Structure 1
Amino acid sequence: MTRRPIGYYVHHHGAGHRARAEAITAAIGWPIVLLGTGLGAAGIDLADDRPASGCFDGMDDTASRPAALHYAPVGHEGVRSRVARIAQWIATERPVLMVVDVSVEVAMLARLASVPTIYVRLNGDRSDAAHLDAFRGATALFAPFHRDLEMPSTPAWIRHKTRYLPGITAVAQHHPRQDDHILIVIGRGGPPGDGTAIAQAARACPETHWRVIGPVTAPTDRPANLDLAGWVDDPACEIASAGLIVGAAGDGLVNAVLAADRPFLCIPEDRPFAEQLATARALHALGAAIMLETWPSPDQWPTLISQAKALPAHARKRLHDRHGVDTAATWLATMAAAAVDEVEAVA
């Protein structure tokens, strides 16, 4: 018997949403169809909904926007097209579930189209009306982080509805650690790294080799111990072989660092709902990382590197599930099977 698919909406800001979806899709024994902007032949490619300015933080400034929505600009052809395309796909393919990673609008659309939703709940203060309505309307919530990284202020009913699924990340094969190598990871979701500041840090620690992956501005004077690699094909391997990681607090990087069990200097980036700040503070409090609110001055680096390397490995290891991808895939397949049984029972 042909199984009805699971629809999986992938947000287009940053790379973590798609990486998470593709990892689960590869591991699950259930057909999944990805929906999102920029997917190309990998799924249902939706029209871009971003404003013409290109500046997008997940919210719009429309005065008439209902409190239950974050982003519903009026007169936007891309928004109109993607809503129609999602609704058409749901009507034609009759998905058993819609996983939404992340968009309260898509979650509401799926529920209006009579499809149960699994909402991917990121960290941070998501006590606003739109998030709470999306959480209430979901069959279950899925948090791609360890429960101990949860904000203390998160209500009990949300915690109870949440399945915590850390470890959804690519796992590199064994790589020998190069303790004198520092890897700076710059993701897709924020601005490029400051090449001049990074060069100053490398110059302050001449006995170590510094390597940057991701976008970075060109320094005027690059020291010999600094390598600017740009985008790389396998960041998991880079992380696994480094002696220490410097980067932000997005779920993708945090899971990769925990999977590789590497010392971590975490500098959270500004994100809606203080998502990265919440994660970074929790990592710091649990002894799994050193959190820095701003980029350090050159003279601070030697001490910070020593502090990060002195953190106990067990603090990182307990926050990671080395079977995380399979655990998430099994759970999602179970939820899909339960949804089928529920429909058949009603019928």
Structure 2
Amino acid sequence: MRIGYYAHHHGSGHCRQADKLAALLPSAWLQSLTVFTSLDTDAYTFKTITEAQIVRLSPEDERLDDVLPGRAGQYWQPECLHYSPVGNPDIQTRSWQLLDGMRQRNIDLMIIDVSVEVAMFCRAVSMPYLYVRLAGNRDDAPHLNAFAGALGLLVPYPQVLESAMTPNWIRQKSLYLDFLTSANAPNVTYDGFIDILTKLPSHTNACKSIKTLAQHSDDIKKDKCRPLIVTVIKGYGGHEAIDAKLSELRHVMPNAFIISLGPIDDDKRNYVDIATHVSDVTTFIAHSDLLLMACGLNSIAQVYPYATPLIVLPDDRPHQEQELMADALITQGRALSWQQFMNQTSNTSEREIHQNILSSLSNTSKDIDTNPYKQNKDQYHCQNSGQSNAAAHTFMTSLTQYSSIKLWFQQWLLPQLDLIPERIK
């Protein structure tokens, strides 16, 4: 079967997800995947597929000559669509590109990540599709229509992090792929991590602190003199809320070595030891004693296999996607909210704060056998690495094992979901 993957152009995360899934295909089948996106070529470089496998779509922005805007309001806005300008030449071209690309490349199945408009387009032209269902409360009519029109729903996070607000029929129609981890994640030792820090721009006091870190070991439990390493990870979708907490973080942890990764306001730099940008945060996650970050899907996917304690400060996003992900992580004992963290800091040393956080997370976890805070970081990551991407790999492999989408749907997908449509031939 030939697969089409529609990747939304807001941020690079959707194209990155397509790249990760493509890497799970058997090599002989890699050419069977085509990505449809309007993301610029310089915004993300695919690692697994070639440019010949990408259909670059025209933009879908509103224009001054539109007959109706994208959200025209009552009496003019179809309930099954979020955004639908009328008389927009770019969107008309884009629609032809989609249809022609699917026809020319003999696409059998589309994976839509994400767009209810593309979902409805596919259903209208009788193209089978799977819809990527992100976290959040997506109970609006357009999303419900996109979910109902799909053969199935692909969920890029573990089922244990599903929101209690998600209706049962949506859960049952969902195939949980777990978090997708990148292949060949670097395995850097503590000494190698310190070497990375020495090469990053920092002020004089930070240089002295790095030398102090170099004199100690990675095991914070055994080496009680090493300063705590706190890494703050931020994306470009919004960093101001986390930056606003840096002064409080420094106040309660005055001796910690604080690293800021990502954008930072100039007036906040004096609260951290290093402020920089890196292409891969994995090494910082592995060797930190504490992480502070929002709850974007790609960020949480990177952090989740590690036992590094996590403080979550969700960004304000549509459909409460980060808030509900944060709630799920807290409920599972995988993270603390900012307020929970601050409650651990009253009249205690930094070492006691760290121990209190570990104890709090350990006590919250309902499954002791899989509680990462009962193990050391290296053991936990090693254990999870062997299992990483197993569900997604099984799904992608299944697409290569059937001669038609109908056979795959009836013989593989429906048994996985334990569902049977009311009327099926």
**TM-score, length-scaled by structure 2:** 0.69
**Cα-to-partner distance string for 1:251-308 (whole Å, 9 max, x where unaligned):** 11111111223211011111111111111001111111002379979x7795875544
1:184 aligns with 2:232: yes
**Cα-to-partner distance string for 1:210-247 (whole Å, 9 max, x where unaligned):** 11222222126625x521112x2212233223222211
The residue aligned with 2:198 is none
The residue aligned with 2:281 is 235
**Cα-to-partner distance string for 1:5-24 (whole Å, 9 max, x where unaligned):** 21111112233322221111
157, 163, 180: which one pairs with 2:169? 157
Q: Could you tell me how far apart the structure 2 residues matched to 1:150 and 1:270 are?
A: 19
Q: Does the aligned pair in 1 maintain the 2:8–2:39 contact within 8 Å? A: no
261, 280, 304: which one pairs with 2:326? 280
120, 129, 137: which one pairs with 1:108? 120
The residue aligned with 2:223 is none
Q: Could you tell me how far apart the structure 2 residues matched to 1:33 and 1:326 are?
A: 22
The unaligned stretches of length 5 or more in structure 2 are 42-50, 191-217, 221-227, 363-367, 373-379, 411-423
- CA shift at 1:48, angstroms? 2.8
Name the Cα RMSD after superposition.
3.4
Counterparts in 2 of 1:235-314, with a 5 A limit? 235-292=281-338, 307-310=356-359, 311-312=361-362, 314=370
**Cα-to-partner distance string for 1:298-337 (whole Å, 9 max, x where unaligned):** x77958755444323834579x785343431331341464
- CA shift at 1:34, angstroms? 1.4
SS in 1 for 2:389: helix
15, 19, 27: which one pairs with 2:16? 19
- CA shift at 1:157, angstroms? 1.5
Q: Could you tell me how far apart the structure 2 residues matched to 1:14 and 1:222 are?
A: 29
Counterparts in 2 of 1:130-169, with a 5 A limit? 130-169=142-181
Q: Does the aligned pair in 2 maintain the 1:116–1:139 contact within 8 Å? A: yes
Aligned residues: 334
**TM-score, length-scaled by structure 1:** 0.83
Which structure has greater strand proportion? 1
Q: Structure 1 counterpart of 2:261, which letter?
A: I
SS in 2 for 1:222: helix
Q: Does the aligned pair in 2 maintain the 1:96–1:115 contact within 8 Å? A: yes
Counterparts in 2 of 1:75-86, with a 5 A limit? 75-86=87-98
The residue aligned with 1:99 is 111
Q: Does the aligned pair in 1 maintain the 2:24–2:396 contact within 8 Å? A: no
Q: Does the aligned pair in 1 maintain the 2:109–2:405 contact within 8 Å? A: no
The unaligned stretches of length 5 or more in structure 1 are 54-58
Q: CA 1:75–1:229 in structure 2 vs 1: closer, same or farther (change >3 Å)?
A: farther
Q: Which structure would you say has the larger Rg?
A: 2
SS in 1 for 2:290: strand
